[in-house]
Amino acid sequence: MEITRLLRTIKTHHPQADLDLVRLAYDFAEEAHRGQKRLSGEDYVTHSLATAQTLAEMKFSAAIVIAGLLHDVPEDTSVTLEDIKKNFGSDIAGMIQGVTKLGKIKYRGLERYIENLRKMFLAMAEDVRVVFIKFADRLHNLETLDALPPQKRLRVALESLEIYAAIANRLGMGDIKGRIEDLSFKYVYPEEYAWVTGLVRERYVEKERYLRRTGKIVERELSAAGITPISVYGRTKHLYSLYKKLLRYDRDIARIYDLVALRIIVKNVADCYAALGIIHARWKPLKGRIKDYIAQPKPNGYQSLHTTIFCEGGEVVEIQIRTERMHEESEMGVAAHWTYDEGGKGSAQPPQNLRWAQELLKIQKELGKSDDALESLQELKIDVFQNRIFAFTPKGDVIDLPEDSTPVDFAYAIHSDIGDSCVGSRVNDQLVPLSTPLRSGDVVQIITDKNRRAPSQDWLAFVKTQGARSKIKARVRKARRG
Ligand code: MN
């Protein structure tokens, strides 16, 4: 790991970046950490450099990379945040302050967990770039986990799996999520890890060879139709996500079709659909396995066309077709929005269309007020990490909810008055009980009665969102009193 490699990586993605400032930051970090060693015996600055390298490879601007280089300086050395501000400006110093705040957690057990989560959410709401730096930092710590005592190893790995990977997933950062999970997997479930790696070792080699051959055929077929793919390659499934899928399929690897998948990246959406047609013309698709996530993206924003086909020699192969932009978004999620600017000045504000980032700010404010913060946080954790669905109002507005949410959750998500006065619901024009679990794409109409004084306490038994739960509790309490 060297500074020249870091500079080269930044330059590839940001030709205009101020590389002198990056070099200065490296020298600054090297001097500040001089004499400090990692538990692995390496000079401390190797950690700073590895963190920065990961950020640069994620195509982040120089400012974020510099913050990565300096992220442990105020915490671990005599150099202060003020010194950093003087040399590198307030934007970079602000990010480092955010990372430092995240580092200080002195609790144990469940309280430690909650505190950790709370700080991650706070950091995310204030400046999500801090969380990106924390991911890069955590990745290198996981890569060098063997140097830690076993007890601490397990704690770090578990925390990474339960908090960091979950948040990365919610931010749509598929690549980071997969890497954090796979690195933690080995320490959290060592026996299961050995089992899964054993299962895939030979299969991956064999399947990759097969996909290389198939990829060539696909490229030929596409070019014959006048489509030049940007790339065609086989992707192997991340180990931990394969493990979780195996648990859902009786541990039977023969039933898992996307162990490896053929990924086709093309220029635009029209080419995506054309490519799908060309593939289906040559190979028969399996029934019920064609998924159009372009027309109907997953709630975390994921877009692609998926199909599973009976391919050469009768092999069952999953194909994923997407544009370059969709690919970037699926690997990088929210972070993709911070990589496009050239100058190196990233914005601390989330992009406007990030509904749930704004949601988060709202929840954050509510949490600040509530006195049973611990309970709310546990509920919030469930809210944020559950899979999401989209449901629609009759006017076509989208309401983003956790999986299995009910019309009552939907009503409270629109407005607390609608929740309080709701008496019935129609889903896709059918009258249904208020406890009915909603599915993505449902059109939900809430029937209200102005004379209804308060929500029913019975709703607490089935609502899924923290927002609905806390409002029902508060209203029921108030109605009893008065
Ligand atoms: Mn660090």
Catalytic residue among 2, 27, 31, 75: 75
Active-site option among 43, 76, 83, 126:
76
How large is the average pLDDT for residues 73-94? 94
Identify the pLDDT of residue 371.
52
Q: What is the CA(455)–ligand 1 centre distance, in A? A: 48
The reported pTM is: 0.74
Least confident piece of the model among 221-235, 243-257, 297-311: 297-311
Contact 400, 390 (CB under 8 A): yes
Distance, C-alpha 366 to centroid of its chain: 23
Mean per-residue pLDDT, 123-127: 74
Ligand 1 centroid–CA 269 distance in Å is: 40
Is residue 2 annotated as a catalytic residue, yes or no?
no
- Among candidates 34, 61, 62, which has minimal Cα distance to 46? 34
Measure CA 161 to chain center. 12
Distance of alpha carbon 204 from alpha carbon 193, whole angstroms:
16
Rounded mean pLDDT, 121-146: 89
At residue 124, does pLDDT exceed 90?
Answer: no
- Rounded-to-integer distance, Cα 414 and Cα 394, Å: 12
Buried residues in 271-298 as b, exposed as e (16+ CB within 10 A):
bbbbbbebbeeebeeeeeeeeebbeeeb
Question: Using 50, 70 and 90 to split pLDDT, how confident is the model at 466?
Answer: confident
Q: Could you tell me the CA-to-CA distances from 215 to 54, 189, 280 in Å, in that order?
A: 29, 35, 15
CA distance 330 to 414: 29
| Distance of CA 476 from the midpoint of ligand 1 (Å) | 47
Q: Which residues is 443 bridged to in the sheet?
A: 392
Token couple for 426: 């129609």
Q: What is the mean pLDDT of residues 130-144?
A: 95
Superfamily of domain 190-332: Beta Polymerase, domain 2 (3.30.460.10)
Domain ranges in the chain are 3-188, 190-332, 386-481
Q: How confident is the model at residue 333 (pLDDT cuts 50, 70, 90)?
A: confident
Closest to 391 (Cα-Cα) out of 416, 364, 412, 372: 412
Q: Is pLDDT larger for residue 442 or for residue 181?
A: 181
CATH class in words for 386-481 = alpha beta
Residue 168 confidence class, pLDDT cut points 50, 70, 90 = confident
Contact criterion met (CB below 8 Å) for 392 and 398: yes
Residue 63 Ramachandran class (φ > 0 left, ψ -120 to 50 alpha, else beta): alpha
The alpha carbon of 134 and the centre of ligand 1 are apart by a number of angstroms equal to: 8
The alpha carbon of 75 and the centre of ligand 1 are apart by a number of angstroms equal to 9
At 39-71, the pLDDT tens digits run 889 999 999 999 999 999 999 999 999 999 999
- Per the prediction, the chain carries an average pLDDT of 86
Residue 355's pLDDT band (cuts 50, 70, 90): low
Neighbouring-strand partners of residue 434: none
pLDDT interval class at 110 (50, 70, 90): low
- pLDDT of residue 347 exceeding 50, the answer is no
**Cα gap 283→315, rounded to integer Å:** 11
The CATH superfamily of 3-188 is Hypothetical protein af1432 (1.10.3210.10)
CA of 50 to the centre of ligand 1 (A): 10
Expressed in angstroms and rounded, the spacing between residue 135 Cα and the centre of ligand 1 is 10
Categorize the per-residue pLDDT at 204 as very low, low, confident or very high, splitting at 50, 70 and 90. Answer: confident
Distance 47 CA to ligand 1 centre (A): 7
Q: What is the pLDDT of residues 432-460, one digit of tens each?
A: 999 999 987 788 999 999 888 789 999 99
Measured in Å, residue 98 CA sits from the centre of ligand 1 at 13
Digit-coded pLDDT (tens) for 248-279: 999 999 888 888 899 999 999 999 999 999 99
The answer to whether residue 348 scores a pLDDT higher than 50 is no
- Examine the residue annotation and report whether 75 is marked as an active-site residue of this protein: yes
User: pLDDT above 90 covers what percent of the chain?
Assistant: 57
